[in-house]
Structure 1
Amino acid sequence: MNLFEVYPLFDINPVKAKGSFLWDDKGQQYLDFYGGHAVISIGHNHPYYQAKLKDQLEKISFYSNSVQNDLQVELANKLGSLSGYEDYNLFLCNSGAEANENALKLASFHNGKKKVVYFSDSFHGRTSAAVAVTDNPKIVAPVNASDNFIKCDWNDVETLETIFKTDEISAVIVEGIQGVGGINLPDEHFIQSIRSLCDSNDAVMILDEVQSGYGRAGYFFAHQEFDVKPDLITTAKGMGNGFPIAGVLISPKFKASSGLLGTTFGGNHLACAAGIAVLDVIKNENLIENAEKIGAYIEDKIKKFKHIKSIRRRGLMMGIELDQPCAEVRSSLLKKHFVFTGNANDKNVLRILPALNITEKEADIFIAALEDILQNLN
């Protein structure tokens, strides 16, 4: 059997990782400044993380959600405390797409409505409703398409107000910061208006913090910059540092009932051990503060480099907009300097998503590499 070839692959086979570095099967070292789409939040193979998982493997790896699991309770308590959402409830699942599916479903159960507003350049996942609120027609199959999903331009409050006047809206789903779209930052007025319109129209505000959450943006969740409380918050990528785990933080106004939501693998013992380890490290090593510190350091060092038009950044979630497509720069960073970076739907944007415990010394490797490439770019 062959693999179903849906991914364009670099000719690199990583076999070892530590901190912010990877090594391939030929022994070549790479600096990881992308973290596998913002998944690696506390660095590869952090010793505390490894110990937690090894310890859990000695006890129990999995049982279903038909039994008690104290690790779920510990994870929920620590997540509530560190994020400031102690009064919310937590539903655990496996991926960002699954978290968004459950959030959209829960919103519709709550108010009995079915129309959902999403935004241009959004990405919320590849499953049924999640892909329907993703602004990429190429990945929306006919079975997913529906007039229940209404697109509005990013940061366009006037159009959003018109949509609410003409349709009965169940939910508005918005990213704390658009990642795949190109590190697009929301205006405060935009986020506050979503909250106000949802309040006035019995609609649910869903904040997708799958990529922008877990300390990456210099706050635990990116939306906390604007002092707004969504009804539902979805999280995944950095939550398990590579172990599949995701969740929905649920406002107290939603009432649980037996069978309302469900999952086979969500919140299993190993996943919770990974999630707890990540929260412990973020707290004990002050990684939210470090994300802002190192993010600002990188921005200050590169802001006057040739070919950079703008830098869109919160914490260690950074989009470097070039005056030309970034593909050549990204390729040169990887092949000449052995640095992993990312791209975006905006072809001119180089996406930077390193681990939250990156150091200035490691950042300097990227900075020097980028300067070299841009100085020699036509």
Structure 2
Amino acid sequence: MSSLFPTYARWNIEVDQAKGTILTATNGKEYLDFTAGIAVCNLGHCHETVVKAVQEQTEKLWHVSNLFHIPLQEEVATKLVAHSDGNYVFFCNSGAEANEAAIKLARKYTGKTKILTFKQSFHGRTFGSMSATGQEKIHEGFGPLLQEFSYLEYNNLSSVKAAMDENVAAVMLEVIQGEGGVNPGEASFIKGVEALCKEQDVLLIIDEVQTGVGRTGKPFGYQHYDISPDIITVAKGLGNGFPVGALIGKEKLVEAFGPGSHGSTFGGNPLAMAAAIATLNIALEDSFLAEVSEKGAYLVQQLEEKLGNVPFVKEVRGKGLMVGIECDGSVGDIVGDLREQGLLILVAGPTVIRILPPLTVTKEEIDKAVEMIAKACLVTN
């Protein structure tokens, strides 16, 4: 009998080890992993450079608290600022914590309390980030949520215009809704939201927890839309599996987060920073990002070619190596059957297959996965 709270519907797989795109169970069975720890291991499992950086850091320093200057924090922050529209960075341990920090910063800076988010969004499971999340299934059973969150229609600019008033501190959105179904934002919508925020003196928060660190073929997903957010949150791929999150904000916000205004005991600890800088030095290289874009386009092309005549499949969508397959019915059994065959993929809601391979995936591995997915969808059809 397990001593764990049953908060996860766990798969019947006991993991022993993993390398690159291959995960090996304790019974010796190997799996082609197109989940990457849910968009976390962007460089693949146990990437040599990241492993070496963390190993070396374990022998130097693990933790001293943020009362001290930690040079690696400055190095990672400089890298994040150089590849984004922000000027300052706050480090934490997860995407939910980064979004909590964003909510607090927006309220403190503006002196306002209302945050506009969107239906089918996902921003985390702490009370603030859960309240920002526009999915009832995430809210169920926890009683009254934090006040002053409004859930609008995604890709509907009119809903944003209608909700704008003098109490709005920020609009918070994902440029591609991940957990909500791999729903890309339309360019006119994303740019329209930015324009409204500027017009109304409202902050724009972009949640890059799943889309950041090269997942879409750019350092951050918002960079496909030619916008400049006030706050960017990032986690998942930032440490390639080591827990780390960050908030990136513009210069005007710095005085609102002065000493004592916010904190994190473990945020930005030396081990996390060692993993992050090793990851960023690879994942943010132009040549690496170009390969992600090329492989992402190839994945979508192959899926559309193999699934184009399957009535059960309605649409293939996404950006870079963040891809969803919208189907005309439940996909849970398909994902389960593929898992039994040795391919690990995810769902994003009941009717969407979600594909998140490591960014280091090869075209041969893409071909193998697409063939397996196509066969599974044909059988369902």
**Same fold flag (TM > 0.5):** yes
Q: Are the equivalent residues in 1 in contact too, given 2:300–2:317 (CA < 8 A)?
A: no
State the identity %.
36
Q: How far apart are the structure 1 equivalents of 2:26 and 2:329?
A: 33
Q: What's the counterpart of residue 336 of structure 2?
A: 331
1:158-187 Cα offsets, whole Å, 9 max, x none, are: 12111114x520111001210000110111
Q: How far apart are the structure 2 equivalents of 1:287 and 1:348?
A: 32
For residues 29-48 of structure 1, the aligned pairs below 5 Å read 29-48=30-49
Q: What's the counterpart of residue 171 of structure 1?
A: 170
Change (3 A) 1:114 1:143: farther
Q: Are the equivalent residues in 2 in contact too, given 1:88–1:249 (CA < 8 A)?
A: yes
Alpha-carbon distance, 1:138 to partner: 3.3
Q: How far apart are the structure 2 equivalents of 1:9 and 1:253?
A: 44
1:272-303 Cα offsets, whole Å, 9 max, x none, are: 00000111121458332222111111111121
For residues 271-310 of structure 1, the aligned pairs below 5 Å read 271-284=272-285, 286-304=287-305, 305=307, 306=310, 307-310=312-315
Q: What's the counterpart of residue 269 of structure 1?
A: 270
Q: How far apart are the structure 1 equivalents of 2:220 and 2:254?
A: 24
Q: How far apart are the structure 2 equivalents of 1:284 and 1:239?
A: 14
Alpha-carbon distance, 1:139 to partner: 2.9
Q: What's the counterpart of residue 357 of structure 2?
A: 354
Change (3 A) 1:117 1:284: closer
Q: What's the counterpart of residue 345 of structure 2?
A: 341
Change (3 A) 1:150 1:266: same
Q: How far apart are the structure 1 equivalents of 2:261 and 2:147?
A: 25
Change (3 A) 1:376 1:185: same
Q: What's the counterpart of residue 113 of structure 1?
A: 112
Q: What's the counterpart of residue 184 of structure 1?
A: 183
Alpha-carbon distance, 1:84 to partner: 3.8
SS of equivalent residue, structure 1 residue 196: helix
* Range with greater deviation from structure 2 (316-325 or 285-294): 285-294
Q: How far apart are the structure 1 equivalents of 2:331 and 2:296?
A: 20
Q: What's the counterpart of residue 207 of structure 2?
A: 208
Q: How far apart are the structure 2 equivalents of 1:218 and 1:285?
A: 9
Aligned letter for 1:216? R
Q: Are the equivalent residues in 2 in contact too, given 1:129–1:144 (CA < 8 A)?
A: no
Q: How far apart are the structure 2 equivalents of 1:145 and 1:119?
A: 15
Q: What's the counterpart of residue 313 of structure 1?
A: 318
Aligned residues: 373
Q: How far apart are the structure 2 equivalents of 1:215 and 1:343?
A: 21
Q: What's the counterpart of residue 162 of structure 2?
A: 162
Q: How far apart are the structure 1 equivalents of 2:103 and 2:241?
A: 25
Change (3 A) 1:130 1:26: same
Tell me which stretches of 4 or more aligned residues in structure 1 moved more than 6 Å.
none
Could you say what the CA RMSD is over the residues aligned between the two structures, in angstroms?
1.5
Q: How far apart are the structure 1 equivalents of 2:40 and 2:373?
A: 23
SS of equivalent residue, structure 1 residue 254: helix
Q: Are the equivalent residues in 2 in contact too, given 1:176–1:221 (CA < 8 A)?
A: no
For residues 12-161 of structure 1, the aligned pairs below 5 Å read 12-81=13-82, 83-85=83-85, 88-140=87-139, 142=142, 145-161=145-161
Alpha-carbon distance, 1:375 to partner: 2.8
Q: Are the equivalent residues in 2 in contact too, given 1:94–1:244 (CA < 8 A)?
A: yes
* Range with greater deviation from structure 2 (14-23 or 250-259): 250-259
* Range with greater deviation from structure 2 (317-326 or 65-74): 317-326
Extract unaligned runs of 5+ from structure 1. none
Alpha-carbon distance, 1:255 to partner: 2.4
Change (3 A) 1:333 1:288: same
Q: What's the counterpart of residue 376 of structure 1?
A: 379
Alpha-carbon distance, 1:80 to partner: 2.3
Aligned letter for 2:335? R
Aligned letter for 1:334? R
Change (3 A) 1:219 1:285: closer
Q: How far apart are the structure 1 equivalents of 2:99 and 2:143?
A: 18
Q: How far apart are the structure 1 equivalents of 2:143 and 2:198?
A: 31
Extract unaligned runs of 5+ from structure 2. none
Q: Are the equivalent residues in 2 in contact too, given 1:299–1:311 (CA < 8 A)?
A: yes
Q: Are the equivalent residues in 2 in contact too, given 1:128–1:144 (CA < 8 A)?
A: no
Change (3 A) 1:142 1:262: same
